[in-house]
Structures are given as structure tokens and as C-alpha cells.
Structure 1
Amino acid sequence: MTHPSPTIDAVTRELQTLRDFWRYAISRFNAADLSYGHGTTTASDDAAFLLLDSLDLPIDVLDPFLDARLLPEERRLLAERIEARVTTRKPTSYLTGRAYIQGVRFHVDERVIVPRSHIGEILFTEYLGEDGSGFLPDPLMVESALDLCTGSGCLAVLAAKFFPAAEVDAVDLSADALEVAKLNVAEHAVEAQVRLLSGDLFAPLKGRRYDIIITNPPYVDHEALAGYPPEFRAEPVMAHDGGEDGLDLVRRILEEAADYLNPGGGLLCEIGSGREILEEEFPELEFHWIETAESQDAVFWISAEELGVED
């Protein structure tokens, strides 16, 4: 037997603390059988993110605030967003308007995919580790960087921060996505470094060469797209659609990247689950697969020289 959901007015009136709202949100999310994967993996984590981000609290610190009593307007805001998460099935980041990569905040809305690239983790791990990166170029020596399929611009912004001497080009085919990227570039004050360009992959970059190319292109295959839950269908389909087997754009990038790389540079590319297909189709290439917290082979690095760039 199902019970009617409490009204927003009732929730606002009856629940008082963050703990109350967290418990209520988890129950509602579980009952609605929501899907996750936009920075959270469980009902508990998604509820915590919705509550903390909505209240401008640190998104990774819940315990100190659990028994804090909330103001009436805060309670209504949380009640409304919990209800919206259940009824619209939109990712929580679309409801709060924010997403995070390694704690760095970015603006998001339904014009862009919610950023969750493994590449952000890799940049932080490789460049902030004690010994530096074993394969990525020296960040202080990078003078030019390219972010293909930039979306919200988050990786371009991170590139500008990690490569302080670099000019960073960021390309996307979606005019809507570039408008969001423009907001993030301004928010992080990297306008002097990042240039946003409209076009299909390398098309707007004739004559340009880069010390590093980073890309998180659409790589979802059509079978997976057809089975998407509402949370993923809420995102722009062009940000996911990688063709029949998911690798249409990855193939194009591999075939063209050498024309845009400087000697000593390389390509850092996220591909999802297509490793076997890629290695079978490009047996002459030596991919360096990078382990992350959630995957062992979703991202590869390949040097400019391996792609045929001559010194």
C-alpha cells in the first residue's frame, strides 16, 4: 500500500533540523527508486548533497550540522527541492545549479551535462602528488592546452589553473554549452587564459598546436542510451551520444590529434567502456590506461610521438 506524500507545507512545518530533512529525503528517494551517478551513488549521498549545497554549506561535511535548527525559509527551500528531485527526476545539480570536481564548484544547468569526468581527478592526483606526474607534461612548461567538447568549461578552467603559463582553447559544438562555459570561465577569473570556440572538434583550430589536449567527448553507445533512466535523459543527448558503439568521436580525435599536437605533448581522453574495441581497431598505438577511484580503463594517455608527431 502506498501513502500520499506529505505536502510541502506539512514538511516545512513538521521537520525542524537538517537530520530531519536528511532522513525524510532518503526515505522519499528510496521510495521513488531514483537513479544516481551525477557525483553521488546512493540515496544517502544524494540527499546530503542536495541539503548541504542548497544551504551553502560544505558539501563534504554533514555531521556538525545535523542537529542545527533551520529557518522557515530554509525548511521550505529544502522541502521544495526534495519534492522536485522526486517528481521531476532531474539530477540534483540541476536543482541546486552547482556541481563539483574535486571540491571545485561550477555552475550547471540543463544546457550542459553535469560534469563528472575522471579527468578532473587525474589532474589533481598527478599534479598534486608528491612526485609529480609520471606521464603528463610539466605543468609549468605547458604553454598551450586544448579542451575538446568542453561542455560547462570545467576542464578548461582546471587546465587554466594547473597550467598557469598556458593559453587554453575550449571547443564545443553546442552554443548553449558555451554560454554556460562562459559563466564558469568568468566565475573562476580565467578569461585572460581561456578562449571559448564554437565548432565540431578540431574544425575551428586550423594551424593551432598544443602541448596537451584533454577531452571528455560523448561516448555512450546507442543501446545504453535507450536504457537511460530519467536522470540521464534530462541531460542534453548530444553530450552523451557517441554513435552505435560509443566511439565515433573518439576515433575522429585519434585520427586528427597528431595535426594539433606539439612534440613532447599528448592526448588525455575519456572513453567510458570502449577499451577492447579501441585496442583492436588501433593495434599500432600504445595506450596508457589510467586508474581512477571508479575505473581502471576509462581514460587513456597517448603521447604525441606515439600518434606520429615528429620532433
Structure 2
Amino acid sequence: MNQFQYTRPAETAVAIKSLAKEPNGYFLAGGTNLVDMMKMGLVVPDKLIDINRLPLKKIERTPTGIHIGALASNSEVAEHAYIKAQYPLLALAINAGASPQLRNMATVGGNLMQRTRCPYFFDTAMPCNKRTPGSGCGALQGINRMHALFGASDKCIAVNPSDMNVAMAALDATIHVTGVKGPRAINIGDFHRLPGDHPELDNTLQKGELITSVDLPAASSAYNKHVYYLKIRDRTSYAFALVSVAAALHIENNTITGARLAMGGVAHKPWRLTAAEIFLKGKAITEDNFKQAAQIAMQGAKAYEYNKFKLKLAPNAIVQSLKLATGLAS
């Protein structure tokens, strides 16, 4: 690794100002993604601003839902009693990711910022528009088994690797950030970007902005009984999703009165299944309805040479997650 400056401010404003003065600086929290990229030469910072002393770790109930500090660890969130009771989908998704040791270190803010695990991004000998804009996308004609079905471009077909982000998308999280221009709130659906012509940009954060917290609305806590997070991967331990599905349903008298669905492993961002949610509202709990919802969700899907199996895997995963959430399968 190259030499770099290291600071550890105790105030948020100081941390933001410190980064604003350094064009090649980075915030450091748990480091579970950033340090890996530094070791591999993907990130070569001139300055690291360690933000672990900032007062951003609280998890607390609010009149409108629950507030989660950006520096709360993944383990703290997943094991929080109120989250397990009222937002169990989030706890399930977090516990499906990484290993216990990594979850103990990884933070909510860092997980939101997690970069793709595309092998062409991590291999500096290969072309990657995300790593080096204009160099090409090695995955397009390469081994693209893990890659996107939705929202890709001819510049990039990588996927967002986070499990937490998928649940956050289904639960309509709001991300609070602050920078030199002040604070702002971003709906999670607007936080992560599709690759388009600029796959090097993972999200809509502006230079120097810091994630301070995430809020989950009280409305999402109504979806706390019929939930399931299904993660399909090559091995059950410490592997990223080929396809994942976050499913949460509100049910009255055997009728679905509301649905929250999102997928992981299929796009550059968590992929919300809005059309399928609309279809399911008012429907009975039947496998046939779930299959129809899955077919609606798959509209517009496009596979590549080595991930064509996902065109069958993904709808089957949607159906299975809905069956598990509702008790049609066990």
C-alpha cells in the first residue's frame, strides 16, 4: 500500500471538512470493503479519515419509525430487539451476509457503500469501466455467471453485492447524509445508481458527503409477520448471492393487502419489484398467484452467456420466498 495521512476526528463537521480538503481522501469505518480494495490496489488514498469516534452509532425508536446510526455495526442492527420484532426482514438479510466476524466490524453506512464483487473489477489486469472508465467491460464477453439481469448497460453488467441493501429497499429506507452544503435525505431507491454511461459512480452521494443515519418508516413495521429473505448462493457460508429475494407481506383473512418485494444479485442496485407488489395486492395466498407475480417481476430481464440460468432461478426464487413467507412452504 502507498503511504497516506490518517486522522481520527471526534466531530462530524470536522470529518467532513477534512475530506473536503483532500480530493483523494476516504472515510474509514469498519474497513471490511475499503481495506480489501486498498490491499489490491483498487483504491490508493492520500488520506483516510477514521470516523469511528463520531456519535453515529445509536439505534433508537422515533415517532415515525426507527433511526439507525451509520456507524452501528451489522451485528448490532441484526440483534437489536426492536428490529427483530418489528423489522425482521432486515435482521434476516443482514444475518445472511458475510461471516459473524465481518458483521461485527461492518457498519450500516459502509454496507450501503459496498462496491461490486465482480471479478473483473477486482482484477487490475482486466478491463473494467467501473475501475478505469473507458477501458471496457471484461464481463460482457467474459465469465458473467454472477452478473445482472436488469438495468445493465454496454458499459457495465456488475451487481450490487449487499444483502442488507435488498431488505432496506423493500422497507423503504431513507438515508440521511451531510456534507459541506448541509444535510439531505435520500430515499434508498434513489441512492444507488444504475451503471448507464458512468458505472464508476455507485450512488448519488456528492463528493465529501457522509452517511449519518438510516430511518425505516413505521409503515414498514406492519410487515413484520409474513417475511422471508431467501439467498441462493454457491455455498452456504460467506458467499455472495446469485439471486436473493426479500419478501414481506401484510395479510388479512387469507388475502394479501400489501406486499414488499426486492431482489439482489440481479442489478447494479437493489431491484424493487413494484409491478409484482401491485399485482399481489388483493390476491389470495396461492402458488398460482405467486407464479404470476414472479413472471411480472421478470419482465425486461436480459441474460448473458453464462448467467442464463438466472432467468429460471430468479422467478423460482420469488415464488419460493413468497411461499416461505406465507407458510405455503416450510
Structures share a fold, TM > 0.5? no
TM range (shorter): under 0.3
User: More strand per residue: 1 or 2?
Assistant: 2
TM-score (norm 1): 0.27
Instruction: Report the structure number with the largest CA radius of gyration.
Output: 1
**Greater RCO, CA 8 A, separation 6+:** 2
User: More helix per residue: 1 or 2?
Assistant: 1
TM-score (norm 2): 0.26
